[in-house]
Chain A
Amino acid sequence: MVPQTIAEVGGMGHSIKRKEDPRLIRGKGTYVDDIQLPGMVYMDIVRSPFAHAKIKSINSENALKVPGVLAVITGETLAQYNLHWMPTLMSDTQMVLPTEKVMYQAQEVAAVIASDRYAAADGVEAVEVEYDPLPVVVDPFKALQPDAPVLRTDKEGKKDNHIFHWEAGDNEGTNRAIDEADVVVKQDIYLPRIHVASIETCGCIADFDRVMGKLTVYMTTQAPHAVRTVFALVAGHVGLSEEKIRIISPDIGGGFGGKVPVYPGYVIAVAASVVLGKPIKWIEDRIENLQADSFARDYHITAELAAKKDGTMTGLRIKTLADHGYTDAAANPSKFPAGMFSICTGSYDFKHAFAEVDGVYTNKPPGGIAYRCSFRVTEAVHAIERMTDVLAHELKMDAADLRLKNFIPADKFPYKSALGWEYDSGNYHGALEKAMQKIGYAGLRKEQAEKRKAGELMGIGISSFTEIVGAGPSKHFDILGLKMFDSCEIRIHPTGKAIARFGTKSQGQGHETTYAQIIAEELGIPAAHIEIEEGDTDTAPYGLGTYASRSTPTAGAAGAMAARKIREKAKKIAAHLLEVAEGDLEWEPGKFSVKGAPQKAKTIQEIVFAAYTNHPPGMEPGLEAVSYYDPPNLTFPFGSYICVVDLDRGTGEVKIRRFVAVDDCGNIINPMIVDGQIHGGLTMGMAPALLEEISYDENGNVQGGSFMDYLLPTAVETPQWETDKTVTPSPHHPFGAKGVGESATVGAPPAIANAIVDALAHLEVRHIDIPITPEKVWKILKEKGVAL
């Protein structure tokens, strides 16, 4: 896209430098742990060593003797206020602090309040808890067996560990397609538990002002407004009323979905502040963050893909068991317990498909949140992109040819998928062909054949993903009943500068820059003169927050719509100033001029000044607008990635030699930021493909619960990403954008997994579950007799 505005205005398409950086590169950001309030005290949490146990007693006596310790809060304390349980975003229930039993290792058991961090930690050590271990359910398949212990004994009448059944599509038609197919491939695919592990952990300062009756909570949240409403609903009965609650989300050190849920720690801190009348700071450490905060994935998938002999895909059936831990604390829109998993037909033109997901309780931490992806989209994309390669293998077809044969053609958009979505726009052939050309696909296949003869293991993997983001049209999407629109309020100052506030909250995406560019594009006011604010519920308009790549599709759209309202009024003022009819005016970024007489013009700055100094009679003075944008549909970013790997036969190590990513996120606001989002997303896609997993032993003990063994990619493992793009605007979005923060995290894992499997395909390997660690590869090499 050629920018419509000049560089000084910095509208869409300009790679302007980020407005948030001057403070962050000086160490002058304000993250929650940087804030110190007068009289503030600290909270630390006692956690369970057992995955399932009755609590026989909690003795705080010794803890209260520790110098500096002020109070110990237990489930019994909270029960006095009926605050010991809270609802999850999926309308399940979750303990804030237990009164009877613990359900996973590292669950919160009690909280210690003390004068400083160290005293609070000492207090935690001194709290004595007696447990009576109960049988532990770790395996979700076993959890569904009739003899499995029922975990949720708190739920009256609950006789099993089943949470929900969800399905989409045409079961019968799909069965028929599978019965009648020339070939059917079937594969179990497991997407393990992982953790977003933003470098800043979660935390808050809860500050209840007894005189004013006002609660201010500084917290690491991606959705401050929704949190305020949830607090009002949960604690309304103890007198917290929504106008007396202020949530401030300061600078956030990465979110990726992990800062959407309301964790027990926040609620305990609020309760403690109300009880003690002091500001309470709670900052979790990394081990708590990995072991107790919401996880992502944990989907046990069985997929069947049916096709004709020539490779035409005819049917897809996917059955999934979703391990949710002890409560369904996923962060999905209410009506979508499996999120957007039904995007699993991907980029292919299926006539028949059926998908079902069953949620199960186990003795593990709750969650089911995103990991830098829109609700369950990575799971869906991994399934279809892996299955496409399994089919190619079965048919001995080239993986690219098979994709090109089955893509939804560009002229079929808007396209109604077999599972019910209306894809807005796409050009899948264009993206894959571009990626193949850029990487030199044909040449790589030749090289691979030669290497195989020489005994070397090289693989090429493709992933042609379709995402579904920007939730969403409020007739389908809500969270606890709150419709998933988003918002922007713009105020233009007399001298032509502006402030705009949004209902979202950046966690590194660069909203202060890109939102200013959207408004600059619409009004011609330089982005440098537009201040962006988010995250303070007392000042920002209500919105549902930043996750699932929804900021640009929803709040960004609201920004454009609010700016257009301002431009409409500006036009009336310009007509008055130029003494012509509105119809005689034309707009170019930054000014209205008279058609046919371009020298007769008023700049936006002149018009704005007139709004405060010389407004037309009968018109209200001032220049402000608000927009609450309810998108008509979701957006469907897509792309094609190609990865080349070399395997070390001696160690099983996987080396990513090249990785080409062609993304299409529609029109681009800031190319530099988009590229950065893709680099980061690719790295977070590589992480679960090669490194990250949180697992549990049979007693429910967490494995991989610290950075000692939960391996985030460092600069050394991370390759040089090669990015490129095609541009297919969204037809329904005000400026044709689609959202981009997560595409790469969604698209990268199958490209890498497919490349590794491809390197071993001639040895009849057709699937490996991620993370594909050197150990896993080496075992296969050994088994196949090719290890060195």
Chain B
Amino acid sequence: MAEHKIRVTVNGTAHEAEVESRLLLVHLIRDVLRFTGTHIGCDTTHCGACTVLLDGEPIKSCTVLAVQADGRQLMTVEGLEKDGQLHPIQEGFWEKHGLQCGYCTPGMMMTAYALLQQNGNPSEDEIRQAISGNLCRCTGYMNIVKSIRYAAEKLP
């Protein structure tokens, strides 16, 4: 199996790694670089637990190869908090009880982050559409929608 030297920037910090061609990005993030906030919940690209931002776009990192991220910018859940200040999305999930087991939460928050970048004032329907690729088995989504609305109102 061919090995490749890649460089990725995660949450603003550059990392280098030697990876096999077939290594999935989610395994690079979790097992190699040890950002374990990004989770895995399926093998068919349905659950969204692995959602991160690649050059600002939300992607399911279980369906991207690590080598495809070479030279690019990644943002994971660990990048949301800045200078000890929770991001309004994180605050929203805490305030509005947007999580129970917390397993879907990082992926959900990254999808919400991308949504709010594009649309600062999404309607309930727009939020539901945006997170429809992220499965949550615990919450029934209602409080997730509220959490994202909270962030929309809080963000400048």
Residues of A at the B interface (CB closer than 8 Å) are 17-18, 20-22, 24-31, 33-34, 36, 117-118, 196-201, 251-254, 256, 285-287, 507-510, 672-673, 675-677, 679-684, 706-708, 712, 714-716, 718, 720-721
Residue on A nearest B90 in the bound complex, by CB? A25
Q: Which B residues are in CB contact (< 8 Å) with A36?
A: 31, 34
B23/A251 in contact, CB under 8 A: no
Cα–Cα, bound, A287→B44 (Å): 9
B44/A199 in contact, CB under 8 A: no
Q: Which A residues are in CB contact (< 8 Å) with B133?
A: 714
Q: What DSSP secondary structure best describes chain A's contact surface?
A: loop
A253/B142 in contact, CB under 8 A: no
A200/B41 in contact, CB under 8 A: yes
Check if B10 is an interface residue, CB within 8 A of chain A: no
Told that A508-B138, A509-B100 touch, could you supply 16 new A-B pairs with CB distance under 8 A? A17-B97, A21-B93, A24-B99, A25-B86, A25-B105, A29-B37, A31-B103, A117-B27, A117-B31, A198-B101, A199-B41, A199-B104, A253-B102, A253-B103, A508-B100, A714-B132
Check if B39 is an interface residue, CB within 8 A of chain A: yes
Residue on A nearest B130 in the bound complex, by CB? A715
Encode B117-143 as 1/0 by CB contact (under 8 A) with A: 000000000011101111111111111
Check if B36 is an interface residue, CB within 8 A of chain A: yes
A680/B140 in contact, CB under 8 A: yes
Q: Which B residues are in CB contact (< 8 Å) with A196?
A: 137
Check if B95 is an interface residue, CB within 8 A of chain A: yes
Given A20-B102, A676-B100, A25 and B93 contact (CB-CB distance below 8 Å)? yes
User: In whole Å, how far is B83's beta carbon from the nearest beta carbon of chain A?
Assistant: 14
Q: Which B residues are in CB contact (< 8 Å) with A199?
A: 39, 41, 47, 49, 101, 103-104, 135-138
Q: Which A residues are in CB contact (< 8 Å) with B34?
A: 36
Q: Which A residues are in CB contact (< 8 Å) with B127?
A: 715
B101/A683 in contact, CB under 8 A: no
A684/B43 in contact, CB under 8 A: no
B100/A714 in contact, CB under 8 A: no
Residue on B nearest A252 in the bound complex, by CB? B101
**Which positions 48-102 of chain B face chain A at CB distance < 8 Å?**
49, 76-78, 80-81, 86, 90, 93-95, 97, 99-102
Given A26-B77, A117-B27, A286-B41, A679 and B99 contact (CB-CB distance below 8 Å)? no
Check if B150 is an interface residue, CB within 8 A of chain A: no
Check if B33 is an interface residue, CB within 8 A of chain A: no
B97/A672 in contact, CB under 8 A: yes
Q: Which A residues are in CB contact (< 8 Å) with B31?
A: 36, 117
B99/A716 in contact, CB under 8 A: no
Q: Which A residues are in CB contact (< 8 Å) with B99?
A: 21, 24-25, 508
Residues of B at the A interface (CB closer than 8 Å) are 20, 22-23, 27, 30-31, 34-44, 46-47, 49, 76-78, 80-81, 86, 90, 93-95, 97, 99-106, 109, 127-129, 131-145
User: In whole Å, how far is B71's beta carbon from the nearest beta carbon of chain A?
Assistant: 23
The 6 closest A-B pairs by CB, nearest first: A27-B37, A253-B103, A508-B101, A24-B102, A679-B140, A508-B100
Cα–Cα, bound, A199→B40 (Å): 8
Q: Which B residues are in CB contact (< 8 Å) with A18?
A: 94, 97
Cα–Cα, bound, A66→B142 (Å): 48
B93/A198 in contact, CB under 8 A: no
Residue on A nearest B49 in the bound complex, by CB? A199
User: In whole Å, how far is A485's beta carbon from the nearest beta carbon of chain B?
Assistant: 26
Given A27-B76, A715-B131, A22 and B140 contact (CB-CB distance below 8 Å)? no
B109/A25 in contact, CB under 8 A: yes
A-B residue pairs in contact (CB < 8 Å), sample of 27:
A17-B94, A18-B94, A26-B90, A27-B77, A29-B102, A30-B36, A118-B23, A199-B49, A199-B101, A200-B41, A253-B102, A253-B104, A286-B43, A286-B44, A672-B97, A679-B139, A679-B140, A680-B140, A681-B140, A683-B139, A684-B140, A706-B42, A708-B44, A712-B137, A715-B127, A715-B144, A720-B142
A27/B94 in contact, CB under 8 A: no
Contact partner of A198 among B86, B90, B137, CB < 8 A?
Answer: B137
Q: Which B residues are in CB contact (< 8 Å) with A17?
A: 94-95, 97
Q: Which B residues are in CB contact (< 8 Å) with A34?
A: 30, 36
Q: Which B residues are in CB contact (< 8 Å) with A679?
A: 139-143
Cα–Cα, bound, A36→B32 (Å): 11
Cα–Cα, bound, A118→B134 (Å): 26
Contact partner of A27 among B35, B47, B132, CB < 8 A?
Answer: B35
A683/B37 in contact, CB under 8 A: no
Cα–Cα, bound, A716→B134 (Å): 11
Q: Which A residues are in CB contact (< 8 Å) with B90?
A: 25-26
User: In whole Å, how far is B94's beta carbon from the nearest beta carbon of chain A?
Assistant: 5
Q: Which B residues are in CB contact (< 8 Å) with A682?
A: 140
Cα–Cα, bound, A677→B100 (Å): 8
Contact partner of A24 among B49, B81, B105, B131, CB < 8 A?
Answer: B105
Cα–Cα, bound, A707→B44 (Å): 7
Q: Which A residues are in CB contact (< 8 Å) with B101?
A: 198-200, 251-254, 507-508
Residue on B nearest A372 in the bound complex, by CB? B137
Cα–Cα, bound, A20→B99 (Å): 10
A706/B104 in contact, CB under 8 A: no
B43/A285 in contact, CB under 8 A: yes
B141/A718 in contact, CB under 8 A: yes
Cα–Cα, bound, A253→B108 (Å): 14
B44/A706 in contact, CB under 8 A: yes
Q: Which A residues are in CB contact (< 8 Å) with B49?
A: 199
A712/B135 in contact, CB under 8 A: yes
A27/B38 in contact, CB under 8 A: yes
Given A27-B76, A31-B39, A118 and B22 contact (CB-CB distance below 8 Å)? yes
Cα–Cα, bound, A718→B106 (Å): 21
Residue on B nearest A685 in the bound complex, by CB? B140
User: In whole Å, how far is A300's beta carbon from the nearest beta carbon of chain B?
Assistant: 27
A200/B39 in contact, CB under 8 A: yes
Q: Which A residues are in CB contact (< 8 Å) with B128?
A: 715-716, 718
User: In whole Å, how far is A529's beta carbon from the nearest beta carbon of chain B?
Assistant: 19
Q: Which B residues are in CB contact (< 8 Å) with A118?
A: 20, 22-23
Q: Which B residues are in CB contact (< 8 Å) with A285?
A: 42-43
User: In whole Å, how far is A106's beta carbon from the nearest beta carbon of chain B?
Assistant: 14
Of A27, A675, A680, the most chain B CB neighbours within 10 A belong to A27
Cα–Cα, bound, A25→B139 (Å): 15
Cα–Cα, bound, A679→B30 (Å): 31
Cα–Cα, bound, A680→B97 (Å): 12
Q: Which B residues are in CB contact (< 8 Å) with A707?
A: 42, 44, 46-47, 135
Residue on A nearest B79 in the bound complex, by CB? A27
Contact partner of A254 among B38, B42, B103, B109, CB < 8 A?
Answer: B103
Q: Which B residues are in CB contact (< 8 Å) with A28?
A: 37
B140/A21 in contact, CB under 8 A: no
Cα–Cα, bound, A198→B143 (Å): 18
Cα–Cα, bound, A203→B24 (Å): 20
Cα–Cα, bound, A33→B40 (Å): 9
User: In whole Å, how far is B133's beta carbon from the nearest beta carbon of chain A?
Assistant: 8
Q: Which B residues are in CB contact (< 8 Å) with A715?
A: 127-129, 131-132, 134, 136, 141, 144-145
A706/B27 in contact, CB under 8 A: no
Residue on A nearest B133 in the bound complex, by CB? A714
Cα–Cα, bound, A381→B145 (Å): 31
A256/B137 in contact, CB under 8 A: yes
Cα–Cα, bound, A716→B124 (Å): 10
Of B27, B86, B135, the most chain A CB neighbours within 10 A belong to B135
Q: Which A residues are in CB contact (< 8 Å) with B103?
A: 29, 31, 198-200, 253-254, 508
